Amino acid sequence: MLSPIALAAFASHAAAAETAEVTPVESYLMSKGNMIVQAFPAASGMKGIVVDNGAEKRLFYVTPDGKSLLAGVMFDTQGANLTSVDLARTASVEPVPQSSQSADSLAHAWKQAEQLKWLAEGDADRVMYAFFDPNCAYCHELWGMLRAPVAAGDVQVRWIPISILRASSNELNAAIYQQAATEGVLIPMAEMAKRQLQPATVTEDIRQNLADNLALFRQAGFRRTPMILYRDRDKGQVKVFEGAPLPQELAVMLKKE
């Protein structure tokens, strides 16, 4: 009979061998030019992988049969957020990736963003603009990640709604604009993140606001949501981050002096 130490070693070796095996869905990702930079055993027999598409890194879960890929937050039976634990165990990430836009074009985009109908959370001196679609799961994730920094007074987030993912995005954005005007931005954004937001009628003013928001998004060459504009703390230069950041990447954006 194996000793407890031997059993633990065997289990560790088996888990390592299992995560080292490339599954069909991972093969598909790599065939599309993505790199899998980290893999580890996750809950419920799943496999956690960190995928780098050249512009950003994201955490996904591979199902036990290796044929499906899951994105989003995973909870256990006690309500614990297992995804946050998995994010904490991922390897150190590289500096926040930059888009191909020049410093001048990003500075211009910042000035234009100031003129849009954004929805502010927080009252800090540091400002961050975030383009989002209410049907974007990664936008929901970003909203959750920013709860603590906003509450701590570390940043003011200026949310800029756009409609690019589904036909229902317009009506959901209308609900966000209308509720924010009467109840504040927190309630509709929280409902959005919980997928409980109810659509509303798109007025002409809201339609124009959404058109202006999308026009800047397109003109600036942005490609996906969420899209974050922020100022580098060291030099004050405007920078951009595409997609939902890992905690380490958000820490870079919110670095204090």
The pLDDT score that the predictor gives to residue 11 is 39
Which residue segments constitute the domains of the chain, with CATH numbers given? Answer: 4-89 (3.10.450.70), 103-253 (3.40.30.10)
113 has a pLDDT exceeding 70: yes
The pLDDT score that the predictor gives to residue 5 is 38
The pLDDT score that the predictor gives to residue 20 is 57
The more confident residue out of 152 and 7 is 152
The pLDDT score that the predictor gives to residue 3 is 45
Best-predicted range by mean pLDDT among 98-102, 129-133, 161-165, 248-252? Answer: 129-133
- The 10s digit of each residue's pLDDT in 23-42 is 999 888 877 777 787 888 88
Residue 207 and residue 224: Cα distance in Å, rounded?
Answer: 20
97 has a pLDDT exceeding 50: no
12 has a pLDDT exceeding 60: no
Reported as a pLDDT band with limits 50, 70 and 90, residue 99 is low
The more confident residue out of 178 and 5 is 178
The pLDDT score that the predictor gives to residue 10 is 38
- The 10s digit of each residue's pLDDT in 245-255 is 888 889 889 98
The pLDDT score that the predictor gives to residue 84 is 74
Mean pLDDT of 158-173: 94
Mean pLDDT of 232-243: 87
The pLDDT score that the predictor gives to residue 50 is 87
184 has a pLDDT exceeding 90: yes
The answer to whether 130 and 157 have CB atoms below 8 angstroms apart is yes
Taking each helix axis as running N to C, give the angle between helix 137-145 and helix 186-193, from 0 to 180 degrees, rounded to the nearest 10: 130
- The 10s digit of each residue's pLDDT in 57-67 is 788 999 999 99
Q: Residue 202: phi, psi to the nearest 5?
A: -85, 110
